[in-house]
Amino acid sequence: MGIVAAEVIVTSPDRNFVTLKLTTDEGVTGLGDATLNGRELAVVSYLRDHVVPLLIDRDERNIEDTWQFLYRGAYWRRGPVTMAAIAAVDVALWDIKAKRAGMPLYQLLGGASRRGLLAYGHASGKSLDELFDSIRAHLEQGYRAVRVQTGVPGLAAIYGIASNATTAANAGVRYDHEPAQRGALAVQEDWDTRRYLRHVPTVFEAVRHEFGPELPLLHDGHHRMTPIEAAQLGRSLEPYDLFWLEDCTPAENQEALRLVRQHTTTPLAIGEIFNTIWDYQLIIREQLIDYVRSAVTHAGGITHLKRLLEYAAQYQIKSGMHGPTDVSPVGMAAALHLGLAIHNFGIQEYMTHGARTNEVFEQSFTWRDGYLHPGDEPGLGVSLNVDEAGKYPYERAYLPYNRLADGTVHDW
């Protein structure tokens, strides 16, 4: 028994991805996603320079022990770089274990708790007409739930709007007709919370009027509001029955969510930038949120996210795993296996990867009638075509950032 090789593969077919490939002495391979959008090479170095030397000759069967060894053994704990690196090792070890067992990974996690995973896609438009077209296009593609992001009058470029090619390329919002803009420095976008707070409820009113009461609608506040502004937005959206309001306020200060919760019954989702169970400790215990947004890739892998979701389950809080295109097909596959197995699955974010990405990563998942399923191949069900990956070297790419009208940097 033992790991004989650990390779860190960086490829940029439609955007940058970092993948860890482990090989055992029996020739079994496992893949893990370590992609941290905009800071990819920091994780590459963490893995190559610090983690890989510790993996050679380790017993690949001892997943929990390896997790604890990498987490506690580093002395310096938590943080997105560390946790993405640990996640990649953890997922690769689960992939190996499931392949050796001859089972799809979800079987090792307890088997299927449902037939498939309800998924939501990203509809957006600068104007209402564009937004309606985008929602219709998503419904035609089979989506049964949509996230709604809208332009705000007076703001030239804002998060999540398809017609802004830079946002599309860098923010995980990928549209087939828009090429990735890579190699550029971080692009500035605009923000004005008062304009946004006035406009968004009018958009949801129009969307409900056009598409009726049944369609689950989601919205991402992308960390821009203060707690009292978030409370105001949650309350003003109550008539439109959102599935969730995401990242309504940055929650490094978990207690901020108390204030939001006191004022609104709009369900709250948070945590795509959190990376450990400890980031959620208070907001789960006090039931200040309804959905956990962490991705397997960014929250320490299957081992840690499963633990976190089991903690959440005690408080009737469900999963809503992050799934933009900056989570690689390997990270998505891990999410699908975990989501199929746990009892407290809520919804899965799903944006389709580009054609080149799908050539680099061969995948077994299915997408039918609005539901995802990881497939039944042994392991994760993803293989990496190393020759294809080699055609696309890393290209530096940054997320955008925000400034207010007076030039102040604002949360993006």
Catalytic residue numbers read: 159, 222
Residue 122 phi/psi, 5-degree rounding, is -105, 105
Rounded to an integer, what distance in angstroms lies between the CA atom of residue 323 and that of residue 339? Answer: 12
In the list ligand KDG, Mg ion, none, the entry touching 326 (Cβ below 5 to 8 angstroms by class) is ligand KDG
Q: Is 177 helix (H, G, I), strand (E, B) or coil?
A: coil
Please state the closest distance from residue 58 (CB atom) to ligand KDG, in A: 31
Please state the closest distance from residue 220 (CB atom) to ligand KDG, in A: 5
Confirm or reject binding of residue 326 to Mg ion (CB under 5 A): no
In the list ligand KDG, Mg ion, none, the entry touching 151 (Cβ below 5 to 8 angstroms by class) is none
Q: Which stretch binds Mg ion (CB under 5 A): 65-73, 212-220, 331-339, 348-356?
A: 212-220
In the list ligand KDG, Mg ion, none, the entry touching 271 (Cβ below 5 to 8 angstroms by class) is none
Decide: 95 and 329 in contact? Cβ < 8 Å: no
Residue 102 exposed, middle or buried by CB count within 10 Å (0-12, 13-18, 19+): exposed
What's the token pair of residue 315? 């408080």
Residue number, 293 or 373, with CB nearest to Mg ion: 293
Rounded to an integer, what distance in angstroms lies between the CA atom of residue 344 and that of residue 360? Answer: 32
Amino acid letter for position 388: E
Residue number, 272 or 326, with CB nearest to Mg ion: 272
Q: Which stretch binds Mg ion (CB under 5 A): 156-164, 203-211, 271-279, 335-343?
A: 271-279
Query: What is the size of the binding site for Mg ion (CB under 5 A)?
Result: 2
In the list ligand KDG, Mg ion, none, the entry touching 90 (Cβ below 5 to 8 angstroms by class) is none
Please state the closest distance from residue 336 (CB atom) to ligand KDG, in A: 16
Residue number, 223 or 261, with CB nearest to ligand KDG: 223
Give the residues lining the site for ligand KDG (CB under 6 A): 37, 171-172, 220, 222, 272, 322, 324, 326, 349, 399
- CB-nearest residue to Mg ion: 220
Confirm or reject binding of residue 220 to Mg ion (CB under 5 A): yes
Q: Which residue in 267, 294, 304 sits closest to 72, CA to CA?
A: 304
- H or E element in which residue 190 lies: strand 188-190
CA geometry: angle 264, 224, 132, nearest 5 deg = 80
151-163 burial by CB neighbour count: b if 16+ within 10 A, else e?
bbeebebbbbbbe
Q: Of 93-152, which residues contact Mg ion (CB under 5 A)?
A: none
Rounded to an integer, what distance in angstroms lies between the CA atom of residue 379 and that of residue 96? Answer: 7
- H or E element in which residue 175 lies: none
Residue corresponding to tokens 């009208």: 405
Residue number, 99 or 219, with CB nearest to Mg ion: 219
Q: Which stretch binds Mg ion (CB under 5 A): 128-136, 160-168, 250-258, 272-280?
A: 272-280
Please state the closest distance from residue 41 (CB atom) to Mg ion, in A: 23
- What's the distance, Cα to Cα, between the start and end of the chain in Å? 46
In the list Mg ion, ligand KDG, none, the entry touching 296 (Cβ below 5 to 8 angstroms by class) is none
In the list Mg ion, ligand KDG, none, the entry touching 324 (Cβ below 5 to 8 angstroms by class) is ligand KDG
Rounded to an integer, what distance in angstroms lies between the CA atom of residue 211 and that of residue 204? Answer: 10
Q: Of 279-308, which residues contact Mg ion (CB under 5 A)?
A: none
Rounded to an integer, what distance in angstroms lies between the CA atom of residue 326 and that of residue 169? Answer: 10
Residue number, 52 or 135, with CB nearest to ligand KDG: 135
- CB-nearest residue to ligand KDG: 37
Q: What residue ranges bind Mg ion (CB under 5 A)?
A: 220, 272
